[in-house]
Amino acid sequence: ANGYYYSRWAKCIHSSRDFSDMVFIDNYIFNKDVYIQFNSTVGEYVGYTEHGVYNAKNWNNNPGQLQGERAEVERYCKHNAEAYQSAIADKT
């Protein structure tokens, strides 16, 4: 356990039944610290370390990458939430 630890956690958060408040958050983590994050509410990457700020600047200047992340609310979050809600509703 004397190595480095990298992970990327994407999550979707909502509280309304119609998913109108859905938020997509994509965290890039190194040694248990978030160093860069995309939040669909903000609409761009935010860096939290020197390396994260550097990457955020570069990634925010890439229209294709930003467009892809922004689309995840619909493609990933809402799509899966609708499927889960349907599966749960069918069981009640």
Pick the CATH number of 6-89 from 1.10.1370.40, 3.40.50.2000, 3.90.1200.10, 3.10.320.10: 3.10.320.10
Percentage above 70 pLDDT, the chain = 96
Contact, 14 vs 23, CB < 8 A? yes
The per-residue b/e assignment along 9-36, b for 16 or more CB within 10 angstroms, e otherwise, is: eeebebeeeebeebebbbbbeeeeebbb
* From 26-30, 48-52, 75-79, 80-84, the region with the lowest mean pLDDT: 80-84
Give the pLDDT of residue 50. 96
Confidence of residue 69 (pLDDT cuts 50, 70, 90): very high
First to last CA, the chain: 45
Give the pLDDT of residue 1. 59
Q: What's the whole-model pTM score? A: 0.85
Q: Mean per-residue pLDDT for 29-34?
A: 94
Q: Decide if pLDDT at 92 tops 60.
A: no
Average pLDDT, the chain: 92
